[in-house]
A and B are shown apart, each in its own frame.
Chain A
Amino acid sequence: MTFRSLIAAGMAAATLTGAASPAFAEEITLTLWSRADRSGPLRAGNVVEAAKTLNQMLAASGSDKSVKVELIETNAKGFDADALDVLKAHSVGDTPDIIVAAHEWIGSFVQAGLAANLEEHIAANPNLYDDIIPTLWNAVSYKGARYGVPQDGEVRMFFLNNDMLRKAGKSEEFIASLPAKVNAGEFTMADMCTLAAEVKDAGASELGLVHRPNVGPDFQMAMAAFGIDMYNDEEARLQVSKSGLTKYYGWLKTCVDQGAIPADMTSYSWDSVHAAFRGEKAVAKFHGIWNLGAQLEAFGIDPLDKDAYFKKITWINAPAGEKGGTPKNLSHPIVYVVGDTPNKDLAAMLVALASQHVPNTRHAVTTNHTPINYGQMAMPAFQKEGWGLVAGVPLLEYAEFMPNHPRVGQYNAITFQGVQAVETGEMTVDEAVEMVIEELETELGEDVIILD
C-alpha cells in the first residue's frame, strides 16, 4: 500500500463515519451571571442542572443541539454592586443570557435594554408557570410587563430572644401574646425599643435592638410602619413624606437615647451584627428569615426541632408606628432575569425548568427561603425541614416589595444617610429630615415626589 492509498482509505473512512453520525453537533453556550452567595448557591446551581434536563429532552427528540451553561460567578459584595457590574458588562456588549439579581434592579435593566420581556414566554408556557404565587409576580413587573421569574421569596421580621425576655422578668403569657399584639397594632415600634431598653437595663442583655449596618431593604419596613409609602404606582415615581420621615427618624433617635439601638450601629460590620444576636448579646434584631439556619446552629438547636426554636425565639412583623396602625413586612425576592440576547428563548426555557417545584424546593429548604410555587408547601421536604418557612408564610400577609424603580438604590442610600446622622448624634431629627429631603430633591429630581 502506498502512502497515497493510505490517505485515500483514511478519507473514505472519515466520510463514512461522518455520514453515520450528525456532521456537526451544535453546542449552544449560555452565560449565567451570578454572584457567589452563601445564602443561595443553588440559584445558579439549579440553572446548571436544568441544562442537563434540557439536553436529555433535546437528545430524546433526536436534535443535534445541546446546551452548555457557562457560569460567570462574581465576587461582588452585594446584589447592588453586582447589578452595577452586570450593567457595565452589558454596556460593552457582554450581555449575559441569564442573570441572578435582586428584583428592584429590573427597572434599571429594562432601561438599559438588558432584560428581555418575558410576557409571551410566560403566557406560552402555562404548564410551567401557573402554580407560581401570584403576588411574587409584582416583584418582577416593570411598567405592566414581567421581566423576570421570581426565584425565591422571603420574609423579614424582628427576632426576639425569649430567654432574655424571661430573664428580664417577662411572663410566658406576655411573650406568647407579642405576635398577636403586633398584628393588632397594640404593640408599636416605640414599645419595641422600650422593651429592648428595659431588657438591657435589667442586665438580661448587653445590647438592645440591632439592625443592618448598611444601606438595604430592611429599613423599608420600618419606614412603611411610619406611613412612608415609597412608591407612587400611578406616576411610577418614588415618593417620601416629611411627616413620615420625621416620625421614622424620631423613633430612631428615641431608641438610641433609650440605649435600645447602639449609636454606632451603622459602623458595625455585618459579622458583629450577626454575632450580637446569635452570640446572645442583643435581645432583638430585624433582618430576614434566612437567618434561621445560622441561628439554629449558633443556639445549638436541632434543625428539625421547631418547638425548641420557638421556645427561644419569637418572630414579629415590624410593629405599627402608632397604636392602632397596621404592622409591616417586606419580601425581597431574588429573581432570574433573561438577557435580551439571541439566545433569550432558550435561556427562558432554562429558567422555567429551574423554577419548577423540585429544584426550587432544594434551594429554598437548604437556604431558608420561602417557596415560589404553591405546590411546594405540600412537598415532604418542606413539611419536614421547611417548618420555619411554613411558619413564616403568615407574616407575608403584611408584606410589601421594594419598588422596581431604577433609582431606588439611590433613594435608599440617601434615607440611610439620615439614619446614620440621627443615630450617631450628628444631626437632630429635623436637620436630618431637611438634609434627606434636600438630597432626594437634588439627586433624584423628577423621579421623587416630596409629600408633607
Chain B
Amino acid sequence: MPSSASARQASNALIFLGPAIILLFALLVVPIVVDLVVAFTDMAQTVTIGEFTTRQFNKLVRPSDDAWFGFELRGSFYRALSLTAIYVFCTLTIFNITFGLILALTTTALSDRLGAFFRAVWLLPRMSPSVVYGLLWIWVVDPTERGLLNQVLINVFGLEPINMMLDHPMVLIVMANGFIGASIGMLILTSAIRSIPKHLFHAARADGAGPMAITWHIVLPALRWPLSYITVFQTLSLLVSFEYIFLIMGASRSTMTMAMLAYTKTLAPDIGSGQYAYGAAITLILIVIGMATAMFMWRMSNMKALLAKPKIEVQ
C-alpha cells in the first residue's frame, strides 16, 4: 500500500532527522532570530525593550559626505574589524594550516610510537581547561624577569626582557590560539595522510622519488579536501572566538576584535557591559560576515564537489 509506505517513510525521516532538526533549530536558528530582534531594540542593563530602533547601528557608523554609501565606519568599529581580519588571517595561515600541516607531515614521517608521542604533546593545550591554558600563557609572558619567556631570553640568549602584552599583543593572541588550533589540523591531516594507499608510496620510491617529491606529488594532492575543510571551519570558529583573548589580555584595546567588542559590551565583567542591544548589533554584523565568508570560501574551494554524490556506484 503506497500510503502506508509513504507514511512510514515520513515517520522514519522524522525519527532520524527530528533530533538533529530540533538541535539545529534551538541552537542555531533561535539564537540568530533572538539576536536579530534584540539588535533592533534599545535593550540595556535593565533587560527590557522600550522601543524598536536602528540606533545601535548608528553607533558603528557615522554619516560622511566623502564616503561611498554616505557613511563611514567609526573608529572603534573600524579598528575591531581590522584586528579581527589580522587575527583570523594570521592564526589560520600560520598555525591552523601551515603548522598543522607541518606537524602532520613530520609526525607521520616518524616511527609510529614517536609520532603518537609528539601528537599527544600537541594535543595537550586543547585538553587543558581554557582558564588553565590562559593562566599558563600569562605566566609565560609575564613582563618581569619571572616570566618563562623572559627567563629564556635573559639567561639563554642574554637579551633584554620583553613585554609581549604591551608591545606585541596581537602576536601573543595569535600564538596562544594557534598552538591550540594547530592540533585540529594536525589530527585531520594525519588521518588523511594515513588513508593514502601504501602502494602509491612504494611505487613512488621504486621510481626514485625523494621525500620532497613524495610529499609534493602524492601527499599534498590527497590533502586538498581536508585542507579546504580546515580553512572554512577554522575561519568561522576564529571569527567568533574570544575566550583566550579575554583570558590572557582582558578587555584590552590592543586586542579588541569584533567578538571581544560584542562580549565587552554585553557580558564581560566590569567594563561597562550590559548593553545587550549594542552587543547584538555587533554580533549580527559578525553573523553576516561569517555567512559571507563561508559562502565565498565554499565557492573558492569548490566544496560542492566534495559533498556531491559519487559519480560511480560503489558496491
Contacts and interface: CB of A to CB of B under 8 A. Distances in A.
A215 interface: yes
Interface residues of B, number: 30
A438 B78 CA distance: 14
Interface in B289-314: none
Contacts of B215: none
A142 to B, nearest CB: 14
A409 interface: yes
Interface stretch (A116-124, A167-175, A263-271, A289-297): A263-271
Contacts of A88: 47
B166 A263 contact: yes
A236 interface: no
Contact of A76 (B75, B143, B269): B269
A216 interface: yes
Contact of A426 (B45, B165, B254): B254
Interface stretch (B205-213, B232-240, B270-278): B270-278
Contacts of B194: none
B163 interface: yes
Contact of A424 (B45, B138, B253): B253
B253 A410 contact: no
Contacts of A421: 253
A409 B253 contact: no
A77 interface: yes
Contact of B45 (A112, A264, A412): A112
Contacts of B272: 215, 409-414
B252 A420 contact: yes
A235 to B, nearest CB: 20
B82 interface: no
B253 A267 contact: no
Interface in B143-166: 143, 163, 165-166
Interface in A399-452: 406, 409-414, 416-417, 420-421, 424, 426, 435, 438-439, 442-443, 445
Contacts of B76: 435, 439
A87 B166 contact: no
Contacts of A269: 138
Interface in A176-219: 214-216
A438 B75 contact: yes
B58 interface: yes
A91 B252 contact: no
B47 A87 contact: yes
Contact of A267 (B58, B166, B273, B275): B166
B269 A78 contact: yes
A356 interface: no
B315 interface: no
Interface size on A, as a range, is 35 or more
A406 B275 CA distance: 12
Given A266-B252, A420-B253, A421-B253, A214 B270 contact: yes
Contacts of A215: 270-272
Interface string B256-273: 000000000000011111
A424 B47 contact: no
Contact of B253 (A112, A214, A417): A417
A279 B156 CA distance: 28
Contacts of B253: 417, 420-421, 424, 426
A417 B251 CA distance: 10
B271 A267 contact: no
Interface string A282-306: 0000000000000000000000000
Interface in B31-45: 45
A76 B268 CA distance: 11
B269 A264 contact: no
Interface string A87-105: 1101100000000000000
B165 A84 contact: no
B271 A442 contact: no
A435 B273 contact: no
The CB with the most chain A CB atoms within 10 A, among B250, B252, B274, is that of: B274
A263 B272 CA distance: 22
A111 B252 CA distance: 30
A92 to B, nearest CB: 8
Contacts of B62: 442
B254 A81 contact: no
B59 interface: yes
Contacts of B143: 264
B165 A438 contact: no
B249 interface: yes
A84 B48 contact: no
A80 interface: yes
Contacts of A151: none
Contact of B271 (A83, A264, A413): A413
Contacts of B45: 83-84, 87, 108, 112, 406, 409
Contacts of A78: 269-270
B74 interface: yes
Nearest to A424: B166
Contacts of A409: 45, 272, 274
B50 to A, nearest CB: 10
Nearest to B43: A91
Contacts of A108: 45-46
A91 B254 contact: no
A249 to B, nearest CB: 14
The CB with the most chain A CB atoms within 10 A, among B47, B252, B272, B278, is that of: B272
A77 B166 contact: no
A263 B253 CA distance: 14
A87 B46 contact: yes
A445 B271 CA distance: 19
A424 B254 contact: yes
A77 B59 contact: no
Contacts of A112: 45-48
Contacts of A87: 45-47, 274
A263 B249 CA distance: 15
A435 B75 contact: yes
Given A81-B269, A214-B250, A435-B75, A264 B274 contact: no
Contacts of A91: 46-48
Interface in B222-247: none
21 contacts: A80-B269, A84-B273, A87-B45, A87-B47, A88-B47, A90-B47, A112-B45, A214-B270, A216-B270, A266-B252, A267-B250, A409-B272, A409-B274, A414-B272, A424-B253, A426-B253, A426-B254, A435-B75, A442-B62, A443-B275, A445-B55
Top 3 A-B pairs, shortest CB-CB distance? A413-B272, A91-B47, A112-B46
Given A421-B253, A439-B76, 20 more contacts: A81-B270, A81-B273, A84-B274, A87-B45, A108-B45, A108-B46, A112-B47, A214-B271, A215-B271, A264-B143, A264-B166, A406-B46, A410-B272, A412-B272, A414-B272, A424-B253, A426-B254, A442-B74, A443-B278, A445-B55
